[in-house]
Chains A and B, each alone.
Chain A
Amino acid sequence: MDPLNNIFKKLSHETMRPSDGVWKEIYANQQKKRKKTIWYFGTSIVALLLIIGGLYTYINKEQPQAISTKISEPKEIKNETNTNTNLVVSNSIQSNEITPAGNIFSSINYIPNKQNSNTNTYPIEVLNTSTLEKNNSIKNIKNTKLENVNNIHENNSETKETIKEVEPVKTEQATSTPYDSVIIEKPIHNNSNKPLIIDTRKKKETSKRKTYIQPSLFLARTFRTLNTNNDSFDYYKKLRNASEISGNQLAFSLSYIVEYSKNLNIQYGIMYQTQKQSSSYTWQQVKTIVVIDSIRNRDVFDSATSTWITKTDSFTHNDKKYLPVIANGDVSFSYIKLPIIVNYEFSKKKITYYIGSGFSLNILTTSVGAIRNFDLQNEGDPIPVKDLRKSILGLDFITRFGARFQLKERFAFQIGLATGYSLSNAFTKNYPLVQHNYWYGIESGFRWTLK
């Protein structure tokens, strides 16, 4: 080595103490980043909750809400000081029918014994629990359309509907009660001599969402990302590298789809998937291979290593000599997958286009491999490899798009492309390599409308 270089090389081992302020600055910077991360995380959660809340509200708004009618027996009318015969005071309302303040038209009463003989109509009272001043409330009511009343009594079309407005009446009972009243006339046929109370409060009915069932076939090409830690010699000395080359997968899925709005649906599914890939393994120490299970196979393997494998490419690591052995074969996996996908759809004539994304929980049911040759020399019978060190559980992110053709009223054919990326490592936690599956393929299936 150059003598001048030798002299100055000494500088590489020298040290110099920095001032204390340096660490303080570094620490402050790291703290700032930590806070930022927490802030981003918190904001993301809040945003997610808002989106979910918004979606929930939106979906609920889309549901048809029926108006229920309730007929009950009111208490006896006590209206001694009332001078207006059409007025029914609030005492006739049962306490459990009181709606929250601010609601208008909480209930409708009609008074059977006040039938107008000329028009064959009954006066109807609309009761309100508004906390506004009585007179103002009445004015509000008078100016409000009484659509619900019409709907309720749409069967009685014999007599034309009339709405009679009355002036507010000042009574002691009326001023002491939170209810406001207005009298309208409405044709109602009633056999009993008791007043009806019709509760027009909106009540949610059990949802009547459209649901579908969809069997599909899925054919895809599966790949694995490159090892991101394939030189982690210190962690795992036996199996240096494992690469599984792309392979084909075939899957059958059955999905249950719930439509939440015209454009939005959620697809819940169960999928059985099987795939086969070529594999290549490189071991460092051939005598300590743990993946070969049976004694016979181990013997075969040992003989293979002693006779066939060239030892010219051995290498040294940490003063120890290692012999890499490349074993080629193939591996097969099967999974049960549970996808949940949110789809957005829009229709043009008879074709519906969809785009969706979601997640899939994957459960590895079988993983088997077979080594067919060592260093490209055929060994004879394939040696089964059992412990492939694959994670049992995985999570995929899926995106898909395609088109659906409505063939009959309740029957459609669907075809599209889908792609997925595994968010979790394909290998088990104690294995040093990190690989992720990704795939793309074509899916097609049929969809039946259930209701």
Chain B
Amino acid sequence: MIFKRQSKALKSLSELELADRCKNRDPLAQREIYDRYASTMMMVCYRYARSKDEAEDFLQDGFIRVFDYLHQYKCNGSLEGWVRRVMVTTCINHTRTRHRELMSEGISDYHEQVYGDGFEDYTNKFEIKELLQMVSDLPEQYKTVFNLFVIDGYNHNEIAEMLQINVGTSKSNLSRARAILMKRITLKENYIHGSTK
């Protein structure tokens, strides 16, 4: 009963108040933070992981880091943004070792993508599940850079620093990821158009 009442009170707390309580390792506040952000962060982790199980491992490790380093949260931005950054860093740390050796392409491969008319209208029809699957099917090194740049909003300098690669490699990986995705989208479009004819 008391637990329920306290949980209810916690739900009304602002991010700052919740963070303050969490800094004192209050288990109820920790649970509340987990409840608020677990679903969003699970998706973040899933985009970097190879499977759902691996994503859950990343998520678990990420939240442990969040609770351990919450005292470093300076209330400058939103708590969610901070938690997301911690999650992304955790995922990168986990995946870095397994694809470091693959990220060695140079800037010479970089090229701008050209899109045809009505491309956006068409791709808007894709379901989230399909988009997720497309990203997930990308080679490991391209997937990470694509996730960081396109979805999580990091720039190439930050990505290069995080992945310990040079900026050129980051740009090249992004370009290749886009090319692959474009190819898959076009194939799908042809398949859909072909089947409707």
Binding site for B on A (CB under 8 A): 2-12, 14-19, 21-23, 25-27, 29-31, 33-34, 229, 231-232, 234-235
The contact size tier of chain B is 35 or more
A4 to B132, CA, bound (A): 13
Which 9 pairs across A and B sit closest by C-beta, in order of nearness? A15-B39, A3-B120, A7-B123, A18-B42, A16-B42, A16-B43, A5-B150, A12-B151, A14-B43
Residue on A with the closest CB to B44? Answer: A12
Q: Is the interface of B mostly helix, strand, loop or mixed?
A: helix
Q: Name the contact of B40 in the complex, choosing from A5, A7, A15, A23 (C-beta under 8 A).
A: A15
B46 at the interface (CB under 8 A from A): yes
A7 to B178, CA, bound (A): 12
Query: With contacts A25-B60, A30-B30 known, is A8 near B25, CB below 8 A?
Result: no
Query: With contacts A10-B131, A26-B60 known, is A17 near B152, CB below 8 A?
Result: no
A16 to B34, CA, bound (A): 13
Is A26 within 8 A of B131, CB to CB?
Answer: no
Is A4 within 8 A of B43, CB to CB?
Answer: no
Please list 14 pairs of residues, one from A and one from B, whose beta carbons are closer than 8 Å in the complex, sorted by A's number: A2-B178, A3-B115, A3-B123, A4-B113, A7-B124, A8-B150, A11-B47, A15-B39, A17-B38, A18-B38, A22-B63, A23-B34, A33-B25, A231-B74
A234 to B182, CA, bound (A): 44
Residues of B within 8 A of A26 (CB): 30, 34, 60, 63-64, 67
Is B38 within 8 A of A22, CB to CB?
Answer: yes
Is B151 within 8 A of A11, CB to CB?
Answer: yes
Residues of A within 8 A of B124 (CB): 7
* B16, B46, B59, B67 pick with most chain A CB within 10 angstroms: B59
Interface code B111-138, partner A: CB below 8 Å = 1, 0 otherwise? 0010100011001101010011001000
B27 at the interface (CB under 8 A from A): yes
Residue on B with the closest CB to A234? Answer: B75
Residues of A within 8 A of B42 (CB): 15-18
A4 to B76, CA, bound (A): 31
Residues of A within 8 A of B119 (CB): 3-4
B181 at the interface (CB under 8 A from A): yes
Residues of B within 8 A of A232 (CB): 74-75
Q: Is the interface of A mostly helix, strand, loop or mixed?
A: helix
Is A9 within 8 A of B151, CB to CB?
Answer: yes
Is B43 within 8 A of A19, CB to CB?
Answer: no
Residues of B within 8 A of A34 (CB): 25
Is B128 within 8 A of A11, CB to CB?
Answer: yes
A186 to B42, CA, bound (A): 94
B31 at the interface (CB under 8 A from A): yes
Is B113 within 8 A of A11, CB to CB?
Answer: no
Is B74 within 8 A of A11, CB to CB?
Answer: no
Q: Name the contact of B31 in the complex, choosing from A2, A15, A21, A23 (C-beta under 8 A).
A: A23
B56 at the interface (CB under 8 A from A): yes
Is A8 within 8 A of B151, CB to CB?
Answer: yes
Q: Name the contact of A19 in the complex, choosing from B56, B131, B151 (C-beta under 8 A).
A: B56
A38 to B42, CA, bound (A): 32
A23 to B42, CA, bound (A): 12
Residue on A with the closest CB to B153? Answer: A12
Residue on A with the closest CB to B119? Answer: A3
Residue on B with the closest CB to A23? Answer: B34
Residues of B within 8 A of A9 (CB): 150-151
A9 to B47, CA, bound (A): 12
Q: Name the contact of A30 in the complex, choosing from B39, B67, B126 (C-beta under 8 A).
A: B67
Interface code B130-164, partner A: CB below 8 Å = 1, 0 otherwise? 01100100000000001000111100000000000
Is A14 within 8 A of B31, CB to CB?
Answer: no
Residue on B with the closest CB to A432? Answer: B75
Residues of A within 8 A of B56 (CB): 18-19, 21-22
